[in-house]
Amino acid sequence: MENRFNFIRQPIEDLLYLFFPSACVACGTGLVQQEQVICTTCRFKLPLTNYHKWIGNPMEKHFWGRVNFEKAIAYLYFGKETRVQELLHHLKYKGRDDVGTYIGELYGSDLKRDHAVDDVDFIIPVPLHPSRERFRGYNQAFMIGKGISEATGITMRNDFLLRGIASTTQTKKTRFERWKNVEEIFYTEKTEQWKGKHLLIVDDVMTTGSTLEACSRALLNSADVKLSCATIAVAM
């Protein structure tokens, strides 16, 4: 019985589409029906870094002497007033969590095709401070990780690395120290499940690398692990 109305549903969808076309998040032109999130032109003009094919790439060099990453990779070059900036702006400030999943899937399928993450055991999204996650409604790094996970088949875990609430020692601190601590802290849980594994830390943009470094320190202080990191964009 459900299919009875198919003959009318399609024209209604077409009609709705005529009046409310979705726009490409990168350039703003209307998407045609087979396109998702970004238009075909923008998709083929994405400034790929191909860092995953490049041993000793600039991002890896950036971390030399700071963190020992197996791989440090980014999907796209970031630039001001570019498609990539538009993508990230929609993901971070316009409630478009689907942009994260979609771009994560594109990246994940490239990584899988090129066997770049074959030995990774878990995807670890950089946690967002809980109050900011409540405000935004989602963690953009989680959405990107979800896309990469779907494309590669690698399990994502967001319960190994956490941010914000260091409960035990905080009560003794002054209010300012507590606030500062809450802003900055990363901590780990369930160590027994990930010690000795290869973890891929995922974030949206890498600029100074200080967030990725702080995450790495928290993980390395808890257990012996192999670490890699991947971001959607790199701006160094």
d(CA 117, CA 199): 10
Nearer to Zn ion, 42 or 59 (CB): 42
Nearer to Zn ion, 98 or 213 (CB): 98
Nearer to Zn ion, 91 or 202 (CB): 91
The least CB distance from residue 84 to Zn ion, in Å, is 12
Please tell me whether residue 73 binds Zn ion under the rule CB under 5 A. Answer: no
Per DSSP, which regions of the chain are E strands? 72-77, 122-125, 155-156, 161-163, 186-188, 198-206, 226-234
Please tell me whether residue 24 binds Zn ion under the rule CB under 5 A. Answer: yes
Please tell me whether residue 215 binds Zn ion under the rule CB under 5 A. Answer: no
Among 15, 16, 27, 32, binds Zn ion (CB under 5 A): 27
Please tell me whether residue 84 binds Zn ion under the rule CB under 5 A. Answer: no
**Do the Cβ atoms of 14 and 2 come closer than 8 Å?**
no
The least CB distance from residue 24 to Zn ion, in Å, is 3
The least CB distance from residue 21 to Zn ion, in Å, is 12
**Do the Cβ atoms of 223 and 194 come closer than 8 Å?**
yes
The least CB distance from residue 74 to Zn ion, in Å, is 21
Helix (H) / strand (E) element for 10: namely helix 6-19
What tokens appear for 48 in the block?
């790929």
**Do the Cβ atoms of 145 and 120 come closer than 8 Å?**
no
Among 26, 76, 103, 126, binds Zn ion (CB under 5 A): 26
d(CA 212, CA 227): 10
Nearer to Zn ion, 15 or 27 (CB): 27
Nearer to Zn ion, 77 or 138 (CB): 77
Residue 118 one-letter amino acid:
D
d(CA 45, CA 84): 10
Nearer to Zn ion, 26 or 72 (CB): 26
Hunting for tokens 């999943």 — which residue is that? 101
Alpha carbon separation from 83 to 24, 44, 52, 89 (Å, rounded): 10, 11, 21, 10
CB contact set of 78 (below 8 Å; sequence gap of 6+): 84, 85, 88, 205, 233, 234, 235
Select the span of 34-42, 53-61, 148-156, 226-234 touching Zn ion (CB under 5 A).
34-42
Binding mask 38-67 for Zn ion (x = CB under 5 A): -x--x-------------------------
Please tell me whether residue 225 binds Zn ion under the rule CB under 5 A. Answer: no
The footprint of Zn ion (CB under 5 A) covers 24, 26-27, 39, 42
